[in-house]
Structure formats: C-alpha cells, structure tokens
Amino acid sequence: MNKYVGLLATVGLATAPAMALAAAPSLSDVFVSSGITAAGYIDGSYVDGFNDGKTIAGHTFDTNSNTFELNQAALTLSYLPTDGFGGMVNVIAGSDASVINGSYGSGTSDFALTQAYVQWAHGNFTVIGGRFVTLSGFEVIDDTKNVNISRSLLFQNAEPLVHTGVRASYKFSDVITAYLGLSNSALSGTAVDDDKHKTVETGVVITPSSTVTIAATNYYGVDDRAGSNANTDLLDVVASLQATKTLQLALNGDYSRVSGGGADAYVAGVAAYANLQVTDSLKGSLRGEYLTSKNTFGEGKVHLEELTLTADYAATSSFDVLGEVRYDFSGDRIYPDGVTDDGDGGTFDKFSHSQGEVLLKAIWKFGTPVPTT
C-alpha cells in the first residue's frame, strides 16, 4: 500500500509545475484584466502600373510601380478608461511610414510614431494631448479600416494626416459630439511650429439615426511662409448612410486653401463610395472621385478624376486578401509615361492624360480581446 502512496506522491510532484504553469494567466489575460489593449497588423502589396513609368502621380502610399512593398507593420498599445487618465502609443514601420513622416516634415524614415498621446476623461468630456491622427477624411492611415487599397486623391493632397497638440471632445447626447483643438501648423506639413500662430481645429459629428452619420471639420491657421504670414484653411465634410444591411454609401468633400504671404493655392474635391458586403467573407467597393486644384500639381489649374474597384476576401477573421483596379484621368498631361527619343540623340519624359494600375494586398491582424471596462 505504501508503495502506491509513494507512487502517487511522486506523480503529483512531477505534474505540479505543469499544473501551476497551466493555471498561470497568459499575457493576453494580464492585458485584458488591466484594461490594456494590444493590437496590430502586418500588410504588404504589389502594384503594377499600366503606364510606361515607375512613378504613379498624385497617389499617397502606392506611388511605386511594379514592385513589392511592406506597407505597414503596426502595433498599438492603449489604456483608455472612460474615467481618469490613460494613453495610446501607435507605431508603424514600412514604406508607408516614410510617407507619413514626409507629410509631417519629420524626414523619410521607414519608422513612424504615428500616435502617442495622454488622455483624461470624465463623464462626457475627453481631452488628449500629444500626437494623434486627423479628424478629416473618410479614409485613414490604418490599412485595416479602409475599404480600398489605394487612398483617395483627397487623402493628403487636401487633408493632413497627423497633428501635434491638444484636442477636447464633448458628447452632448447620443446624437451630437463636438471637438475643439489646437495644434501645430496642420496644413503646412511641418512637425515643429516655430512661429506663435497655431491651427484651430473645430468639428462636430451628428448621428441622427443608427444608419446615418454626418461629420464636419475645419482647420484654420496662420503660418509663416518665407517670412510672410499665410492663411491656411480646410473644410472637410463626411456623410455616410447604411442604406441596407449590406450596402453602405458615403460622400467626402474637401476645400483646402492657402492664401496670403505670396501663396495662392487650393484643392477642392469630392469622393463617393458604394461599399457592398456580398457574403460573410467577400465585400466590394466602388469609389469615384473628382478633384480640382490650383498651384498644387505644378503651376496653374488642373482637374483630376479617378475610378476604383476593390474586392476584399476575408480568408479568416484575421487574414484578408484584397485586389483592386484603378484608373486616373486628367484634361492635362500630368501622368508619367516613360521616355522617348528627341531625335537629336537625347530623350525627354513623356506624359499622359491617364494612368492605370492593378494592386494586390494581404493583411494579417492580431491583438488581445478588447477590455470590457
């Protein structure tokens, strides 16, 4: 009898470490119980341009043709309680990071600190301070939250990407939320604002029903340009309608202008979207856009149009494969289309009225469950 007792005791001691290990909480459990969310994604793409050239004009993250790209390897850590202090850190590595840094005057590194801010919340009032993404636009930096692979013409050509400053929001009701902020020069593409003028951010989001959302945002500032003051202004309006359970319609309009201080330039345009959930795994999007500008794509006025068709297949809940066809048009020859012989032993660049491309992208997402408190 004693030998059986000894055997059982030996087995119990041998399995005790494994039992203790099994009982230990995972890192995910620790994060969730602490109210911390950790999430991220990795995505890459291939772009094939139809024109005889390596550069795709007027685009944001898909300017290089006939090449593979690691677009975004992103990680976000956040602790954002509904009452008290919290914060968020969002970093992105990859080719898109260099575009984000370049648009913000922070160099062209393939590593971007896209967001890093402290938050304080109490009741319906929230204030954040640090670096954060813009309120303007229907499309965003985060690849997992867009319906298309390529970004609209309005994205970056009219809209800023990130700001450094403070932003306060107040939820008046389930229908109306208002925003008020102050940041460095929002529309001049500089990370460091060395003049006394700042950009004022005002915005309102109206949700009259569960199917309709309307958002209006304005950025106004005075910036020092070559020793003279220039007024910068952007009015952005986004409206979306969940027309049916599977069909979403959206409209994004922008008017951005720089005037005074020897500057006179503007961008005005509208982008329309029809997004359809075909099946649980397949969705499609059609985007049409018109943009007119002055002294933005070179000197003088230009008119641009684009049409984009995108399909998104969710192979699993964490892995998506997207395919897209896009055409851009203009009344002016602004799209690179290779080089040609000038007849005197030299060459010159050719330009076309249109450009087209095919894009493929794969996105893998990961993260902890969202905390319930």
CA distance 100 to 255: 21
Give the residue, 133 or 1, on which the prediction is more confident.
133
Contact 2, 333 (CB under 8 A): no
Task: Say what the pLDDT of residue 236 is.
Answer: 98
Is the pLDDT score of 68 beyond 50? yes
Task: Say what the pLDDT of residue 258 is.
Answer: 87
Q: What tens digit of pLDDT does each residue of 135-160 get?
A: 999 999 999 999 999 999 999 899 99
Q: How confident is the model at residue 193 (pLDDT cuts 50, 70, 90)?
A: low
CA distance 64 to 317: 30
Quick check: helix, strand or coil at residue 61?
coil
Task: Say what the pLDDT of residue 343 is.
Answer: 54
Give the residue, 196 or 80, on which the prediction is more confident.
80
The burial class, CB within 10 Å (0-12 / 13-18 / 19+), for 234 is buried
Mean pLDDT value across the chain: 86
Fold assignment, 37-367: Porin (2.40.160)
Is the pLDDT score of 311 beyond 50? yes
Is the pLDDT score of 269 beyond 60? yes
Q: How confident is the model at residue 173 (pLDDT cuts 50, 70, 90)?
A: very high
Structure tokens at 5: 């007792």
3-class SS shares of the chain: helix, strand, coil, % to 5: 10, 55, 30
Query: Which whole number is the average pLDDT over 332-353?
Result: 70
Query: Which whole number is the average pLDDT over 353-367?
Result: 94
Q: What tens digit of pLDDT does each residue of 218-256 get?
A: 999 887 665 677 888 999 999 999 999 999 999 999 999
Q: What tens digit of pLDDT does each residue of 313-330 get?
A: 999 999 999 999 999 999
Query: Which whole number is the average pLDDT over 79-89?
Result: 96
Is the pLDDT score of 25 beyond 80? no
Is the pLDDT score of 208 beyond 60? yes
Q: How many CB atoms lie within 10 A of CB 285?
A: 21
Handedness of CA 42, 145, 256, 126 (dihedral sign): negative
β-strand partners of 322: 312, 361
Query: Which whole number is the average pLDDT over 244-271?
Result: 92
- The secondary element (H helix, E strand) that includes residue 107 is none
Task: Say what the pLDDT of residue 140 is.
Answer: 96
Is the pLDDT score of 188 beyond 80? no
Contact 167, 136 (CB under 8 A): no
Q: How confident is the model at residue 371 (pLDDT cuts 50, 70, 90)?
A: low
Quick check: helix, strand or coil at residue 29?
helix
The three-point CA angle 185-191-193 to 5° equals 50
- Highest average pLDDT, of 21-30, 111-120, 181-190, comes from 111-120
Q: What tens digit of pLDDT does each residue of 4-22 get?
A: 444 344 445 444 455 445 5
Contact 114, 162 (CB under 8 A): yes
Give the residue, 74 or 226, on which the prediction is more confident.
74
